[in-house]
Amino acid sequence: MTALPGVFQPHLSSGLSMELSDILSEDSVLVLSKAADKSELFRTLSERAAISTGLDAATIYEALAAREALGSTGLGNGLAIPHGKLAGLKGVTALFVRLVEPMDFESIDDEKVDLVMTLLAPAGAGADHLKALARVARLLRTEALVRNLRSTTEPPRLYEMLTAPVASQNAA
């Protein structure tokens, strides 16, 4: 692809084949027995994200809450992808939560949510943010993977499943 003079062309360092391991670290995979509501869940996610990003937890919370106020990020089938953009963030970052007790998320199918993949992106990362959202949405449509994620509450095992090569997820 030829760059046009003066035109910013964002890209992920690993190109179009971005893997979840590029944006998700093992310590960003959590298992929570229960979250009372989205606010409590977002606070937990924000506190964990603050540790890994160095950004203020309140700022992260505000970004997630502001996006959620536009409409639920609950996709249906027990899945949600809350996301937000943050000034000062170095790159797209993901956090995953497996809720032992599903919670109301105002999802499009009115089903409770138990699998939550949170994406945080730099304020100017339009293309990278969209690539990450598309990758996660595609990954979470893999029925075998979703079934396997629901079968364990061990963060290392969840991380392993989420970051496995796509071909092995489809074979599972």
> How confident is the model over 77-127, as pLDDT tens digits?
999 999 999 999 988 999 999 999 999 999 999 999 999 999 999 998 777
Please state at what angle helix 38-53 crosses helix 57-69, rounded to 10 degrees.
Answer: 140
Of 34, 35, 29, the closest CA to residue 157 belongs to: 29
Q: How many CB atoms sit inside 10 A of residue 167's CB?
A: 7
Prediction pTM value: 0.85
Picking from 16, 15, 30, 49, the residue whose alpha carbon sits closest to that of residue 138 is: 16
Distance CA 129, CA 123 (A): 9
pLDDT at 167: 54
pLDDT class for 166, splitting at 50, 70, 90? low
**In the chain, domain spans:** 23-163
Active-site residue (options: 38, 43, 48, 83):
83
Q: Respond yes or no: is residue 129 known to be catalytic.
A: no
For 26-52, write each residue's pLDDT tens digit. 999 999 998 999 999 999 999 999 998
- Kindly state the tokens that stand for 64: 């997630």
Distance CA 36, CA 40 (A): 6
Query: What is the chain's Cα-based Rg?
Result: 16
Share of the chain above pLDDT 70, in %: 85
**Rounded distance between C-alpha atoms, residue 90 and residue 145, angstroms:** 29
Answer CATH for 23-163 from 3.40.930.10, 3.90.850.10, 1.10.1040.10, 3.40.50.150: 3.40.930.10
- Which residue type, as a one-letter code, is found at position 50? A
